[in-house]
């Protein structure tokens, strides 16, 4: 029998508890279900000095080893995240010790991932440069602004690029872990794990975080925030980059650059996200047919509605309605 797949979860003071324990439970459950003829997973927690750490909820996590003791003894490393709130703004916590360690250790680790704002730690170590990544929608704009070499997509629940995985907010770490179980052992074990844990069975990586990304209430006098509110109230109007730039009396190029810097995404992708959000709510909360939903959401046609759902959510409008209504 092959040896167990070695998973290490890197943690630090203030880390979000579920960022660590959620994926750990998925790997643990898969191990219990895998059967005696196949190896499952060993899961260990590593901290800077091997010390216990207090999580954001106050619950303490015991460490199994120090970061330096990992030293190649790992098949999958997951870096958890933490946030702090200052003046009503959410910002990621960057643990310098983990960032420094990642710069040295990352080349020898076969598979790496971040949970929630842990993506900021991978980015700070230079591991996401030239790649697409996601993180919690509330810190996605910060990730894009701090690391312009990273293509930040705030919508999917997880993104995989080769050996590097990033995922969205907190519970999506469990979805990413399920996807890793699928890669390691196939969909049957992942399905059994999800059912046993009473999880949604097939929340694919392309599915949205179920919140229009980066749309807080408009700050007084902020023209870009005012525009985003206006977009949400005028979904059936011309929302092309050219039309939006004209509203702000900016060139298209300058508007697109400003919009991406502020939101972490392009105007076109943002507009599609808002329209898709509206379509999802109509599917969940109304009895409208697909042609009317396509029209009311601004997506225009049933074909466009289907195309957006397939590309963004990996499902069809009808299937979405059956699952979530």
DSSP string, 9-65: EE--TT--HHHHHHHHHHHHHHHHHS-TTS--EEEEEEESSS--EE-TTS-EE--SE
- As a whole number, mean pLDDT of residues 159-180 equals 92
pLDDT-derived band of residue 212, with 50, 70 and 90 as boundaries? Answer: very low
For the domain covering 5-196, report its CATH number: 3.40.50.880
Give me the pLDDT at residue 325, please: 61
pLDDT-derived band of residue 1, with 50, 70 and 90 as boundaries? Answer: low
- As a whole number, mean pLDDT of residues 90-109 equals 95
pLDDT-derived band of residue 234, with 50, 70 and 90 as boundaries? Answer: very high
pLDDT-derived band of residue 305, with 50, 70 and 90 as boundaries? Answer: very high
Higher pLDDT, 306 or 35: 306
CB burial class (10 A; 0-12, 13-18, 19+) of residue 202? middle
Host H or E run for residue 118: none
Read off the pLDDT of residues 9-33 as tens digits, 9 standing for 90 and up: 999 999 999 999 999 999 999 999 9
Task: Indicate the pTM of the whole model.
Answer: 0.68
Give me the pLDDT at residue 199, please: 81
Give me the pLDDT at residue 209, please: 54
- The two three-digit tokens of residue 188, written as one number: 């049957």
Give me the pLDDT at residue 113, please: 97
Residue spans per domain, the chain: 5-196, 223-324
Give me the pLDDT at residue 218, please: 45
pLDDT-derived band of residue 46, with 50, 70 and 90 as boundaries? Answer: very high
Rounded Cα–Cα distance for residues 108 and 150 (Å): 22
Helices and strands: H and E segment counts in the chain: 14, 13
| Per-chain mean pLDDT for the chain | 89
At residue 84, what are phi and psi to the nearest 5 degrees?
-130, 155
- Can you name the CATH fold of 223-324? Arc Repressor Mutant, subunit A (1.10.10)
Give me the pLDDT at residue 214, please: 38
Helix axes 290-297, 317-324, angle to 10 degrees: 100
pLDDT of residue 274 exceeding 60, the answer is: yes
Rounded Cα–Cα distance for residues 313 and 325 (Å): 16
User: How many other β-carbons are positioned within 10 Å of the β-carbon of residue 222?
Assistant: 12
Place of tokens 């059936």: 236
Give me the pLDDT at residue 58, please: 95
pLDDT of residue 52 exceeding 90, the answer is: yes
Share of the chain above pLDDT 70, in %: 92
Least confident of 74-78, 122-126, 286-290: 286-290
């Amino acid at each position: 029998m092959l040896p167990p797949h070695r998973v290490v979860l890197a943690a630090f003071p203030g880390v979000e508890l579920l960022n660590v324990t959620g994926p750990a439970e998925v790997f643990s459950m898969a191990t219990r279900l895998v059967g005696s003829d196949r190896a499952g997973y060993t899961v260990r927690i590593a901290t800077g000095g091997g010390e216990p750490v207090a999580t954001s909820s106050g619950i303490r996590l015991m460490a199994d080893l120090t970061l330096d003791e990992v030293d190649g003894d790992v098949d999958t490393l997951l870096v958890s995240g933490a946030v702090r709130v200052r003046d009503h703004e959410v910002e990621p916590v960057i643990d310098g010790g983990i960032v420094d360690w990642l710069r040295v250790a990352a080349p020898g680790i076969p598979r790496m991932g971040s949970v929630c704002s842990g993506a900021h730690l991978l980015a700070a170590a230079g591991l996401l440069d030239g790649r697409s990544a996601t993180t919690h929608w509330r810190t996605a704009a910060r990730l894009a602004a701090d690391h312009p070499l990273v293509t930040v997509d705030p919508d999917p629940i997880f993104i995989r690029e080769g050996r590097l995985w990033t995922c969205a907010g907190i519970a999506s770490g469990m979805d990413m872990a399920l996807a890793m179980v699928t890669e390691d052992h196939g969909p049957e074990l992942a399905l059994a794990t999800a059912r046993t844990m009473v999880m949604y069975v097939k929340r694919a990586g392309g599915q949205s975080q179920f919140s229009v990304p980066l749309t807080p209430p408009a700050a007084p006098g902020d023209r870009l925030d005012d525009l985003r509110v206006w977009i949400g109230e005028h979904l059936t109007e011309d929302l092309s980059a050219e039309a939006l730039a004209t509203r702000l009396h900016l060139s298209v190029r300058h508007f697109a650059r400003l919009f991406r810097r502020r939101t972490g995404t392009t105007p076109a992708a943002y507009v599609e996200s808002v329209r898709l959000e509206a379509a999802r709510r109509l599917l969940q909360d109304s009895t409208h047919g697909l042609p009317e939903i396509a029209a009311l959401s601004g997506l225009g046609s049933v074909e466009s509605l289907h195309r957006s759902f397939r590309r963004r959510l990996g499902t069809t409008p009808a299937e979405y309605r059956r699952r979530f209504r």
